[in-house]
Amino acid sequence: MTSTQQHLTPVDPARLTEVLDGRWAHVRRDAREQLGEQKYAPVYGETGAQARERITGLLKDLAATGRTRLGFPKEYGGEGDAGASVTSIEMLAYGDLSLMVKAGVQWGLFGGAVELLGSRRHHEAYLRDIIDADLLGCFAMTETGHGSDVQQLRTTCTYDPATQTFDLHTPHDSARKDYIGNAAKDGRMAVVFAQLVTQGKRHGVHAWLVPIRDEAGNPVPGVTIGDDGPKAGLNGVDNGRLSFDHVSVPRDMLLDRYGQVAEDGTYTSSIENETRRFFTMLGTLVRGRVSVGGSAGSATKLALQIATRYGDQRRQFAAPGEDREIVVNDYLVHQRKLLPALAKSYALHFAQEELTSTMHDVQGAESVDEAAQRELESRAAGLKAANTWHATQTIQMCREACGGQGYLAENRLPALKADTDVFTTFEGDNTVLLQLVAKGLLTGYQDSFGSLDSWGKAQFVADLVKETVLERTAARGLIARLVDAVPGRDEEVSLLDRGWQLKMFEDREKHTLEGAANRLRKGASNKENRLFDVFNDVQDHVLRTATTHIDRVVLEAFVAAVDRTTDPAARALLAKVCDLYALSTIEADRGWFLEHGRLTPARSKAVTSAVNGLLKELRPHMRTLVDGFAIPDAWVQARIVSEEGPRQEVMAAEDARVRAAHGEGSAVDTPDATAVDLEMAPAQ
């Protein structure tokens, strides 16, 4: 499939929406209807206390819509539909992001932990109240001293058979729970992660359901609650700190699906290895990470929608000899900002949609497929990093693309920027997540996944992949055919040949992965080297294996999406957008392709020309592409675009006025307007 011969005709954005909406289209449609009310829109200029109050109220309203029960088991009033619940959170992210995060904490993290780590008695006792938001709770894992390395948490929970209770204790300040959502104001209970100790032996990190506030909202004895105070964004979320001073926790409050403590203190678990057990527990909570990636995608699409619509009506400078000022979206460099980002948003959307689908199927399977689970975790980690970094970069770019308007709170972008900023850190720091992805690739997913503790071990080096075979992730047959059809001599192949593009992505990943494995092996063969240094000396290379892998997975998802698009005009447009994603990714990394002889200098320059050519072709479709996201106007909430109609009229009137002032043939008489404007345009 090449897009060289395809000519773009106007596309009904609804045809794009059909492809984008995918497997959970009904959830997306419901969300557009249910959450379109003004009350879900963000509010500016509130105090922190007002924002928290409003968001807490909305949490109850949200529960009343029934959307929050989608992922929970049917016996407790849910629908047992993990994919729907993640999609629902993703849709919520078009509204106030504080509400999305608070909902994620309540139903995804807190409710998810009770459901997935607990057993029947916990479900019976608490799930209904959690679903209905009658019991608000926290997911208290991170400590001030341990965030990414949660296996090393310092909080302890020690069993005493005499009282049949656990003693939950924070041994020092840096072991206090920190940044915990719902802790500072609303949470009544918390799922607290701590080191389980029984019969004098540690069994690693487990989770307990612990009351933290009484009916009146005061901390229960032994629990100290602090407030993290003002943050860069997410002002409606009450993040706080929790410390425990020998708090007594009944034995049956251990969430014991993966590890049980008998009355006499005997510990049992179906998973013997402590590390494996812990990461199996965390693995079940993958939904949170998937939701954050998807939500970052929504915020990015919204920012692109605002910047693209604004850029379509904002005029600045006139062409030499002409009166009419240029619409900023007509400038090549403006297109260079918006269109590659838009193409990447499409690409990431399709990859995210596949991830959600895989998660739904893996989690809903009758039996546990460990290999599939590890790949799912890896994909979730990689796409969370890709989506959230893309959000941070793109929202900033959109802010700049709207000039001064982009800086005004009424135009939404400052809040989008502030609220999504931390997405690169919570649910796993992105850099650490990329290492997890790389580790899975380097060991062919043999290693107990989720932990970075084996980097410095000889066994890790022994387990490194001997031969790299890239597993295609989407539309396997189609992609194999496209790649196999590429003729041997690159120079003869069109840059728009999809097979060639795929081959470039595959080649880069394979080479990077093999190079990293060889360097690790070589480093380790010198016995003088400390194993930590062997890894650390190639850490940047190792991370590149992850990013090149994610790029390929994302391209494959896009190719598959184009292939399943039935409307011919929409398919041709998506194929061009896919070209732009592929070529702008190659262009951004052309240093590597040149260094490794994958592009000649001439062909590298041709990639840049091809990207510019695609921008020109896609320019008339920019608005269609953002409209395809089908973001209801009520969610956009940016004055610069809500005033679009009147502004265009004002602009048209202004054009007419200028023309009238200059009379007929004014273009000939008018001095070079660009020069004049440039002279008159000191930096403000």
Interface with ligand FAD (CB under 6 A): 105, 109, 139-142, 147-148, 179-181, 231, 234, 239, 422, 425-426, 429, 431-432, 452
Closer residue to ligand FAD in complex, CB, 241/349: 241
Question: Is residue 668 packed enough to be buried (19+ CB in 10 Å), middle (13-18) or exposed (0-12)?
Answer: exposed
As measured in angstroms, the least distance from the Cβ of 365 to ligand FAD is 28
CB 415 within 8 A of CB 97: yes
As measured in angstroms, the least distance from the Cβ of 174 to ligand FAD is 10
Closer residue to ligand FAD in complex, CB, 426/558: 426
Closer residue to ligand FAD in complex, CB, 536/642: 536
As measured in angstroms, the least distance from the Cβ of 543 to ligand FAD is 9
Closer residue to ligand FAD in complex, CB, 187/222: 187
Closer residue to ligand FAD in complex, CB, 308/454: 454
- DSSP codes, 489-539: -GGGS-TTBHHHHHHHHHHHHHHHHHHHHHHHHHHHHSTTS-HHHHHHTTH
CB 112 within 8 A of CB 288: yes
CB 274 within 8 A of CB 203: yes
DSSP SS3 for 137: strand
HSE (CB half, 13 Å, CA atoms) of 189? 24
As measured in angstroms, the least distance from the Cβ of 231 to ligand FAD is 6
Closer residue to ligand FAD in complex, CB, 6/68: 68
As measured in angstroms, the least distance from the Cβ of 101 to ligand FAD is 7
As measured in angstroms, the least distance from the Cβ of 454 to ligand FAD is 12
- DSSP codes, 183-217: TTTT-SEEEEEEEEEETTEEEEEEEEEEE-B-TTS
Torsion of CA 119, 121, 124, 126, to 10 degrees: -80
What is the residue type of 361? D
The tokens for 301 are 């699409």
Closer residue to ligand FAD in complex, CB, 66/219: 219
Task: From 22, 139, 174, 42, select the one nearest 84 (Cα to Cα).
Answer: 22
Percentage helix, strand, coil, to 5, in the chain? 60, 10, 30
What is the residue type of 246? H
As measured in angstroms, the least distance from the Cβ of 274 to ligand FAD is 20
Closer residue to ligand FAD in complex, CB, 140/517: 140
Closer residue to ligand FAD in complex, CB, 58/105: 105
CA distance 634 to 525: 61
CA distance 163 to 165: 5
As measured in angstroms, the least distance from the Cβ of 34 to ligand FAD is 26
Closer residue to ligand FAD in complex, CB, 138/504: 138
The helix-helix angle for 601-618 and 332-364 (nearest 10°) equals 90
CB 131 within 8 A of CB 269: no
As measured in angstroms, the least distance from the Cβ of 139 to ligand FAD is 5
As measured in angstroms, the least distance from the Cβ of 32 to ligand FAD is 28
CA distance 182 to 188: 9
CB 611 within 8 A of CB 580: yes
Query: Nearest to ligand FAD by Cβ — which residue?
Result: 147
What is the residue type of 155? T
The tokens for 393 are 């970069």
